[in-house]
């Protein structure tokens, strides 16, 4: 057993060293990880200032000069101390607990350099002596920190150019002070020399005053990165003497960096220094009514590791030092959160759904193999519109659509203001969304004022303070800056309205057209010229034009149209009578235009009627309708209501056209017009609502322009069908053969695909914007 003791001891030491290494490693990891790292001076000063008649106790370091700013003269005291200075400092504004030491330093000398005191100092400390000592009484609030304690005893012989230093230092333990407590200092001298002397202060070389060793200041440096990856920096200068104790600051945003270990003060490549700040962008009122200085990055930060490098100057520290307080705040900007279900999943669901459906249908009846080939091509073409669908994500706002309807309390007003009121007499509304205390609030206000002078239309400006728990006191200072130029609204306590905007509850400028639709938005702020351009665009259809349907034809949005446009007849049929040139094109234009109008006219009317506040519910109805159209086409090969309109329109055609083009072919054109409308809505949901309806709300001229715009878009939609049929026609007889072989199954397969598309949009709207408002 004894022989095993060294072995057991070695194992014990090994285990102990392992635990020690783990603890050290954990501590180093914590120090190297994210968070705030502060370097604060451990000594803090209060200096004598002023004159002998009006002395002062202040924090600011004496000026850099060799001539003292103040003095108190004294002569031989004959054993009775002489009071030189009685002074009281400014009351503190923060609670304070003193732990450490306190030292009083006094600089004194003879008025002129002389050896008299040394020569006459026969018996030091007796009436025959010639020494000098000071007595100090220091009180702070109700506490006596130093009570008449004498400094060191000196036989003086120098002038103020080489002053003697007199010091007294005492320990402090748990001295609790509160706001309003003031520091008072009494200095007395006992001078036994016949040569007069003086107590000096107010110069770099003779800075008589008080020095505290311990923790007196507790600055806070924080950052918040919003949903748009714009970072707001907040610095709270906590000092017993108030925020002005921090005289200057320099803040840099550095990154992205490789690791936290390389984040030290002053480090970083030039290209990594993204922003440089000195004067604060804005202020806000923080906890305990403290002043909080705020800055904001000019652009969104890319995902990665960053540091905020802060350099702060204190009034009581040596001006020759570049930084008195160093703060390095390490943080990470994360990737944008992933949605619950990405929109690209639809691109997988549709081919899988169509293939599964084909597998079931084969059991009932077998079609020619070319027909199945056409269906597979259609399934692949359906990926085009699917990849642009919105994600399914909780509380995600609708990126292309109407602004959220709101009625919010006005700061300093008598009631609430709604979006409907702002739009009632305006061609557009410019919304400034900001988080209280953000510097972007003031930036937005300045940009709004300049934009007003550039815009000659009736425009409403409004700012909304958003964020969790917005309080009226948070908006007071900004309200004074705006001074009633436009209303300032307060978001709900849970920031419901802010979260409903595409920007989220963060700083942004949002342009809303006369129909209540968001035309453009930018995180942070917009410049005045950008606001003016965006407003002008909003009054002209927000950049939409009559050529949009045709331009979409050459992308992926309308790819299924080329398969759906395959003719049902195997051979082209010549008319029995001479008809107008281009009659086939005109009939296709008519059928497709009628189908497109069935969808577009109601949308235009609802938008022109100002139903933007309810648009999310209108879009839900549209998604349900698209799903219904898909299901009906899947089960019957057509949409009964659309087929009924097609029959009515066909019956109104001249007889010679009816004899040439059969009713089924004309109904196909009408259905194609409807599907063009749905495909355009999936890709650009606001084309008709903004491009037609919103223009109609800008006045009488706007109504005329909106009608022209609608007719142009209808014509362009019809032309997309004509072009699609033309492209299929010029490729030869094979598309006609494939079209005739798949005439029964092709619309059904598309019905399944469109039902999936409609269901996805419906779920996306319900999970995102709708649930986000509850």
Q: What is the pLDDT of residues 292-344, one digit of tens each?
A: 898 988 888 999 999 999 999 999 998 888 999 999 999 999 888 787 888 78
Residue 15 has pLDDT above 80, yes or no: no
How confident is the model at residue 696, as a pLDDT? Answer: 84
Residues 6+ apart with CB under 8 A from 119: none
53-109: per-residue pLDDT in tens? 889 999 988 876 667 888 899 998 877 889 999 999 889 998 888 899 999 999 999
Secondary structure (3-state) at 138: strand
How far does CA 249 lie from the centroid of its chain?
23
Task: For tokens 């005439």, name the residue.
Answer: 743
Closest listed residue to residue 234, CA positions, set 94, 435, 33, 438:
438
Identify the bridge partners of residue 332 per DSSP, sorted by sequence position.
305
Q: What is the rounded CA–CA span in Å between residue 451 and residue 707?
A: 30
> For 681-724, how does the pLDDT look when each residue is reduced to its tens digit (9 = 90+)?
998 888 888 888 888 888 788 889 889 999 999 999 999 999 98
Using alpha carbons, select from 600, 766, 767 the residue that is nearest to residue 680: 600
Q: Are 521 and 509 in contact (CB under 8 A)?
A: yes
Residue 59 tokens read as: 């924090």
Whether residue 520 contacts residue 534, with contact meaning beta carbons closer than 8 Å, is answered with yes
Model confidence at 3: pLDDT above 50? no
Place 773 in a pLDDT band, splitting at 50, 70 and 90.
low
CA distance 166 to 322: 29
Secondary structure letter of residue 341 according to DSSP = B
Picking from 678, 739, 89, the residue whose alpha carbon sits closest to that of residue 374 is: 739
CA distances from 534 to 392, 414, 440, 633 (A): 29, 31, 19, 41
Residue 243 carries which DSSP code? G
Which of the four pLDDT bands, split at 50, 70 and 90, describes residue 2? Answer: very low
> Exposed, middle or buried by CB within 10 Å (0-12, 13-18, 19+), for 679?
buried
Q: Which of 80, 41, 128, 677 lies closest to 316, judged by CA?
A: 41
- Length of the chain in terms of residues written: 774
Q: Where are the alpha helices (DSSP H) in 697-765?
A: 700-730, 733-741, 746-765
Nearest CA-CA partner of 710 in 737, 687, 684 = 687
| Measured CA distances, 658 to 234, 268, 702 (Å) | 75, 78, 39
Q: Which residue has the tokens 């979409």?
A: 552
Q: What is the pLDDT of residues 441-478, one digit of tens each?
A: 888 999 999 998 888 888 889 999 988 878 888 788 88
CB-count burial class (<10 Å; 0-12, 13-18, 19+) for 68: buried
The model's confidence at residue 20, banded by pLDDT at 50, 70 and 90, is very low
Half-sphere exposure (CA, 13 Å, Cβ side) for 518? 23
Q: Using alpha carbons, select from 514, 594, 566 the residue that is nearest to residue 746.
A: 566
Dist CA 766 CA 748 (whole Å): 27
User: Is the peptide bond between 258 and the residue preceding it cis, with omega within 30 degrees of 0?
Assistant: no
Question: H helices of 470-527, where?
Answer: 476-482, 496-500
Mean of the pLDDT values across residues 658-669? Answer: 82
Token duo for residue 454:
């550039």
**If we measure between CA atoms, which residue out of 452, 409, 406, 407 comes closest to residue 428?**
452
Q: Is the predicted pLDDT of residue 729 greater than 90, yes or no?
A: no
Cα gap 119→116, rounded to integer Å: 5
Binned at pLDDT 50, 70 and 90, residue 27 comes out as very low
Instruction: Please tell me the distance from the alpha carbon of residue 357 to that of residue 353, in angstroms, as a whole number.
Output: 6
CA distance 440 to 447: 10
Would you give the DSSP letter of residue 574?
P
In the chain, what percentage of residues exceed pLDDT 90? 30
Q: Is 223 helix (H, G, I), strand (E, B) or coil?
A: strand
Return the pLDDT at 572: 60
685 neighbors 677 (Cβ within 8 angstroms): no
Say if residue 30's pLDDT is above 50. Answer: no
**Cα distance between residue 209 and residue 70, in whole Å:** 12
pLDDT of residue 7: 45
**Residue 583: pLDDT band by 50, 70, 90 thresholds?**
confident
Averaged pLDDT score across all residues of the chain: 85
Residue 213's DSSP bridge partners are: 43, 101
Facing residues of 489 across strands? 410, 464
Nearest CA to 687 out of 705, 714, 723 is that of 714
> How are strands ordered across the β-sheet holding 220-225?
220-225, 231-236, 291-296, 282-285
Closest CA to 202 of 85, 57, 75, 313: 57
């Amino acid at each position: 057993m004894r022989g095993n003791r060294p072995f057991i001891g070695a194992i014990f030491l090994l285990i102990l060293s392992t635990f020690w290494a783990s603890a050290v490693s954990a501590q180093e990891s914590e120090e190297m990880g994210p968070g705030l790292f502060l370097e604060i001076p451990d000594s803090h000063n209060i200096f004598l200032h002023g004159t002998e008649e009006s002395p002062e106790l202040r924090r600011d370091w004496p000026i850099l000069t060799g001539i003292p700013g103040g003095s108190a003269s004294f002569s031989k005291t004959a054993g009775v101390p002489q009071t030189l200075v009685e002074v009281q400092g400014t009351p503190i504004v923060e609670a304070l607990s003193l732990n450490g030491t306190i030292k009083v330093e006094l600089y004194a000398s003879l008025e002129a350099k002389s050896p008299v005191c040394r020569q006459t100092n026969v018996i030091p400390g007796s009436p025959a002596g010639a020494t000098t000592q000071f007595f100090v009484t220091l009180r702070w609030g109700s506490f006596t920190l130093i009570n008449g304690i004498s400094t060191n005893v000196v036989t003086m012989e120098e002038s103020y150019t080489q002053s003697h230093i007199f010091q007294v230092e005492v320990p402090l333990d748990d001295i609790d002070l509160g706001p309003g407590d003031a520091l008072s200092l009494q200095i007395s001298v006992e001078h036994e020399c016949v040569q007069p002397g003086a107590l000096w202060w107010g110069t770099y070389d003779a800075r008589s005053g008080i020095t505290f060793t311990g923790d007196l200041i507790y600055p806070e440096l924080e950052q918040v990165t919003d949903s748009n990856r714009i970072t707001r920096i907040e610095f709270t200068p906590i000092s017993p003497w108030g925020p002005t104790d921090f005289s200057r600051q320099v803040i840099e945003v550095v990154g992205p960096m490789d690791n936290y270990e390389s984040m030290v003060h002053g480090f970083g490549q030039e290209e990594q220094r993204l922003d440089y700040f000195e004067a604060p962008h804005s202020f806000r009122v923080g906890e305990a009514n403290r002043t909080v200085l705020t800055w904001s990055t000019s652009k969104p930060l890319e995902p990665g590791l960053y540091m905020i490098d802060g350099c702060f100057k204190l009034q009581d520290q040596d001006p020759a030092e570049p930084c008195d307080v160093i703060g390095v705040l390490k943080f990470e900007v994360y990737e944008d959160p992933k949605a619950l279900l990405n929109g690209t999943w639809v691109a997988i669901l549709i081919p899988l759904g169509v293939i599964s459906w084909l597998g079931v249908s084969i059991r009932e009846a077998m079609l020619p193999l070319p027909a199945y080939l056409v269906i597979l091509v259609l399934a692949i073409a359906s990926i085009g519109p699917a990849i642009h669908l919105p994600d399914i994500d909780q509380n995600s706002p609708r990126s292309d659509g109407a602004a959220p309807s709101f009625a919010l309390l006005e700061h300093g007003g008598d009631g609430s203001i709604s979006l409907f009121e702002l739009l009632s007499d305006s061609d557009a509304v410019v919304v400034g969304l900001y988080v209280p205390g953000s510097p972007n609030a003031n930036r937005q206000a300045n940009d709004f004022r300049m934009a007003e002078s550039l815009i000659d239309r009736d425009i409403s400006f409004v700012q909304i303070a958003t964020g969790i728990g917005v309080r009226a006191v948070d908006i007071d200072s900004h309200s004074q800056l705006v001074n009633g130029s436009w209303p300032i609204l307060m978001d709900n306590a849970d920031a419901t309205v802010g979260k409903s905007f595409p920007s989220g509850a963060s700083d942004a400028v949002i342009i809303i057209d006369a129909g209540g639709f968001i035309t453009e938005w930018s995180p942070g702020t917009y410049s005045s010229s950008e606001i003016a351009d965006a407003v002008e665009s909003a009054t002209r259809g927000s950049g939409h034009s009559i050529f949009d349907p045709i331009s979409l034809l050459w992308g992926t949005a309308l790819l299924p149209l080329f398969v759906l446009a395959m003719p049902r007849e195997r051979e082209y049929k010549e008319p029995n009578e001479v008809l107008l040139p281009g009659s086939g094109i005109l009939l296709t234009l008519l059928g497709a235009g009628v189908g497109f109008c069935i969808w577009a006219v109601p949308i235009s009317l609802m938008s022109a009627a100002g139903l933007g506040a309810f648009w999310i519910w209108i879009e839900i109805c549209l998604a349900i309708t698209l799903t219904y159209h898909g299901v009906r086409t899947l089960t019957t090969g057509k949409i009964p209501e659309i087929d009924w309109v097609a029959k009515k329109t066909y019956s109104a055609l001249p007889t010679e056209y009816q004899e040439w083009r059969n009713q089924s072919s004309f109904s196909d054109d009408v259905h194609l017009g409807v599907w063009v409308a749905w495909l355009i809505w999936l890709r650009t949901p606001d084309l008709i609502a903004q491009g037609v309806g919103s223009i109609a709300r800008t006045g009488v001229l706007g109504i005329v322009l909106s009608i022209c715009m609608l007719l142009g878009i209808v014509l362009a939609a019809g032309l997309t069908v004509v072009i699609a049929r033309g492209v299929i026609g010029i490729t030869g007889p094979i598309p006609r053969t494939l079209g005739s072989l798949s005439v029964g199954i092709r619309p059904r397969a598309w019905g399944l695909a469109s039902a999936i598309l409609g269901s996805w949009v419906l779920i996306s709207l319900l999970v995102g914007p709708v649930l986000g408002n509850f």
